[in-house]
Amino acid sequence: MVFYRKYRPQKIEELDNEKIRETFYRIFANENYPHAFLFSGPKGLGKTSAARIIAKVVNCERKAKRTTKSKLSKNQVEPCSKCNQCVSIANGTNIDVLEIDAASNRGIDEIRDLREKIKLSPASARKKVYIIDEVHMLTTEAFNALLKTLEEPPNHALFVLCTTEPHKILQTITSRCFQINFKKATREELIRAFERIAKVEKIKIDKEALEAIAGLSDGSFRDGVKILEEILSLSLGKKITKETVEKKHSITNINLQILEFINAFETQDIKSGLNLIGKIADSGVDLKFFAQAFIEKLHKLLLGKVGINDEKEETSLSMSELKELMELFNRAYLETRYSVIVQLPFEMAIINWGEREMSNDKQETEDRIKPEQTVGKKTEPKKAIEHQQPRLLGKNEAFWGEVIERMKGHNHTIAGVLRGANLHDMEKKMVTIETGYKFHKEKLSELKTLQALEEVCSQIAGKKMAVSIILKQKGR
Ligand SMILES: [Zn+2]
């Protein structure tokens, strides 16, 4: 079993987020706790685990014996994890604790079912607990049904709504819930979680290594525990040190670089592609190894395109583009054997790819093939134009940077496309974005993207902004 599941916190004390632990102890020390909770925050912070703990806290049989009106101690609040209720909730077989994933079919059937059955008393538990994951994904119809239920909940019902996007939830719902915000974990909280696992698994790991893993986890327990598990499999029973973590990290790094590399092709950013090859060569990573991993990734994406692979990541590269890239890099891979400069075949492959798009300046391309002109020193024609016409000054530059940053959260590919585009103009109510490629203009002009851009621009500007995409005139 993977660590993240195996070491799901089972009681309040095991929750790694201190603020949430304290909140739970405080709320459930009284008998009149809220009947609806809203858990918000990024993925991987244990919202569902916390919801299941609540289900146990209110249903634990041990607690039934208590008749006190005074506040319960932390120990008394804690579920026993041994009684029938606790055990069946932990293994997901308790028929009074229902988990609904609103993301899977937008919850229509489940909420209808919920409305019909909620009036019925629980079968064996004290409280019927409804855990609704990704609640913002519910359809309007399902939302309204939920609202009706929340307005007049029967005494035996308790709701835990979870969401990664609380702003999408109607005020009428949030106002009826006790809201708990799950923030990214601190370094100490992450280390606490890792130590809890390391202790049980008898993993030999030093404090420095734990700190290094915490640094790589980006505040997510799930990610951190995953990294710990991967490193453990690499360590072959030896004590895990900071060096082990770093070794693992460099492999992770290659995966990130591959994504960056693919992004360069998606956005036709030849310069970035060349820069990256130079960077990898300089860092001492075997380029053949990198190329191999890159080709494997393309292969997966290609299979994903035809639907025989469950590769989740999407690419804006077409099937023929993927094929072309695979051919180019396969050839480059074979040519490295005869190449004086090891990165040359890969640079050639990138340039060949680039030539498909920019055929207007042959001389430029030929210049760049010469090996003595090393990577990264040449200026892309597009960039040169920018330098001649410095339109972006101060505030606008910051604005544009922020737009790209926020669009990352929306879609990485689009953010990449934006990086290759310019903020052409910003008037009172209109942001004009300029791109050099027709394909990019089409991409950015897609309704969904345009709406997201307008939303982001309006947010940053603090007022309603419209967005227009224009194509840069050739030769300007
Ligand atoms: Zn119990």
Give the closest residue to 138 by CA, choosing from 170, 179, 177, 175. Answer: 170
Task: Read off the tokens for 1.
Answer: 């079993």
Residue with tokens 């052409």: 424
| 200 CA → ligand 1 middle, Å | 22
**pLDDT over threshold 90, residue 283:** no
Report pLDDT for 280.
82
| 10 CA → ligand 1 middle, Å | 11
Rounded to the nearest 5°, which phi and psi values hold at 392? -85, 120
**If you ran DSSP here, which 8-state letter would residue 99 be given?**
E
pLDDT in tens, 388-423: 333 444 677 778 888 988 888 778 788 888 988 888
Report pLDDT for 58.
95
User: What is the DSSP secondary-structure string of 438-468?
Assistant: HHHHHHHTSHHHHHHHHHHHHHHHTS--EEE
| 308 CA → ligand 1 middle, Å | 45
Q: Percent of the chain having pLDDT more than 90?
A: 30
pLDDT in tens, 222-276: 888 988 988 888 777 788 888 888 777 776 677 778 888 998 998 888 888 999 8
> How far, in Å, CA of 417 to CA of 313, rounded?
17
Give the closest residue to 291 by CA, choosing from 270, 261, 313, 323. Answer: 261
Does this chain's domain 3-181 share its CATH topology with 254-378?
A: no
Biggest distance spanned by C-alpha atoms of the chain: 88
| 83 CA → ligand 1 middle, Å | 4
Out of 89-93, 154-158, 471-475, pick the least confident. Answer: 471-475
Residue with tokens 């669009």: 407
Residues 254-378, CATH architecture: Up-down Bundle (1.20)
Burial class (CB in 10 A: 0-12, 13-18, 19+), 64: exposed
Half-sphere exposure of 370 (CA within 13 A, CB side): 8
* Cα Rg, the chain, nearest whole Å: 27
Domains of the chain, residue spans? 3-181, 187-240, 254-378, 386-471
| 340 CA → ligand 1 middle, Å | 70
Instruction: Share the mean pLDDT of the chain.
Output: 83
| 7 CA → ligand 1 middle, Å | 18
Pick the CATH number of 187-240 from 3.30.70, 1.20.1440, 1.10.8, 2.130.10: 1.10.8
pLDDT in tens, 20-62: 999 999 999 988 899 999 999 988 889 999 999 999 999 999 8
| 127 CA → ligand 1 middle, Å | 13
- CATH level 3 topology of 3-181: Rossmann fold (3.40.50)
| 80 CA → ligand 1 middle, Å | 4
| 84 CA → ligand 1 middle, Å | 7
Report pLDDT for 364.
42
| 55 CA → ligand 1 middle, Å | 10
**CATH class for the region spanning 386-471:** alpha beta
| 65 CA → ligand 1 middle, Å | 11
**pLDDT over threshold 70, residue 351:** yes
| 412 CA → ligand 1 middle, Å | 45
* Own/partner long-range contacts of 361-364 (Cβ < 8 Å, ≥24 apart): none
Report pLDDT for 64.
52
Judge contact between 375 and 343, C-beta under 8 A.
Answer: yes
Counting DSSP H helices and E strands in the chain, the numbers are 24, 8
| 221 CA → ligand 1 middle, Å | 26
In terms of phi and psi (left: phi > 0; alpha: psi -120 to 50; beta: otherwise), the region of 43 is beta
pTM, two decimals, is 0.56
| 98 CA → ligand 1 middle, Å | 18
| 191 CA → ligand 1 middle, Å | 28
- Residue 370: Cβ within 10 Å count: 9
The arrangement of strands across the sheet holding 157-163 comes to: 97-101, 128-133, 157-163, 36-40, 178-181
> How far, in Å, CA of 365 to CA of 342, rounded?
20
> How far, in Å, CA of 328 to CA of 295, rounded?
10
Report pLDDT for 269.
87
| 144 CA → ligand 1 middle, Å | 34
pLDDT in tens, 193-209: 999 999 999 999 999 99
| 28 CA → ligand 1 middle, Å | 15
| 229 CA → ligand 1 middle, Å | 30
Report pLDDT for 346.
92
* Angle ∠(336,337,340) on CA atoms, nearest 5: 70
| 24 CA → ligand 1 middle, Å | 16
pLDDT in tens, 81-132: 999 999 999 999 999 999 988 877 666 777 888 888 888 899 999 999 999 9
Q: Percent of the chain having pLDDT more than 70?
A: 87
Judge contact between 245 and 213, C-beta under 8 A.
Answer: yes
pLDDT-derived band at 69 (thresholds 50, 70, 90) equals: low
| 202 CA → ligand 1 middle, Å | 28
| 8 CA → ligand 1 middle, Å | 17
| 260 CA → ligand 1 middle, Å | 49
